[in-house]
Homo-oligomer: A and B are copies of this chain.
Amino acid sequence: MNFLEEKILIDGVIKPGNILKVDSFLNHQIDIDIIRQIAYEFKRRFKGTEVNKVLTIEASGIAIATLLGDLYDVPVVFAKKSETANSTDDKYVAEAYSFTHKKLNNVFISRPYLHATDKVLIVDDFLADGQAAHALIDLVHQAGAEVAGIGIAIEKGQQIGGKLLREEGYHLESIAIVESMDWEKQTIRFREQDGADLTQARISAE
């Protein structure tokens, strides 16, 4: 079991509706030690991959992207969300449906911050259906830039996002992949990675 799977077991909470709450350390309160370990783990997993920009989407990816940009010593860009169709003359714009908020967002990046020469590592805290990741990929491609890879802290393995991205040939690295959760028993099962044993364990927090 890796550090993030362990942290999920200690501090994550499973809620009805297949919801994994990790806002005590990842996306509301931020445990800097965990975020730093996530950044180092991405650096390790993408070793040998050329990266000159780290890209995420506001808001909860920003902490991870900041510490990763610090490690790579490259600029970080966060795509912004807007409900309205802004003027597109100086922006790359893509659409992403948010299942959390049940609405379609425009996601945009000002043109000066993505170049055709960029090799972009996309990072985010969660991957579920892949709407945000695909919007970010779309923006990178609009700029004629290259997706160097996609780094995700927690992938929800039963949802379609990870499968699609891997089939599309992207180098996707998810530090923890949740295969299944049982709300009543508060158990969680992680996908085996790097030859580790398939892990099933009981969450200790409530």
Contacts and interface: CB of A to CB of B under 8 A. Distances in A.
A36 B29 CA distance: 20
A158 interface: no
Interface string A54-86: 000011001101110110011111101000000
B30 A78 contact: yes
A49 interface: no
A2 B138 CA distance: 39
A81 B67 CA distance: 23
A120 interface: no
Contact of A30 (B23, B31, B75): B75
A136 B58 CA distance: 19
Nearest to A64: B66
Contact of A59 (B23, B30, B62): B62
Q: Interface size bucket, A side?
A: 20 to 34
Contacts of A70: 32, 36, 67
B69 A66 contact: no
Contacts of A63: 62-63, 66, 76
Contacts of A59: 58-59, 62, 78, 80
A35 interface: yes
A18 interface: no
A36 B69 CA distance: 11
A110 B23 contact: yes
B66 A28 contact: no
A57 to B, nearest CB: 9
B29 A113 contact: yes
Interface of A: 23-24, 28-32, 35-36, 58-59, 62-63, 65-67, 69-70, 73-78, 80, 109-110, 112-113
Given A30-B77, A59-B59, A62-B63, 15 more contacts: A24-B112, A24-B113, A28-B77, A28-B110, A28-B113, A29-B75, A29-B77, A29-B110, A29-B112, A30-B76, A32-B74, A32-B76, A58-B59, A63-B76, A66-B66
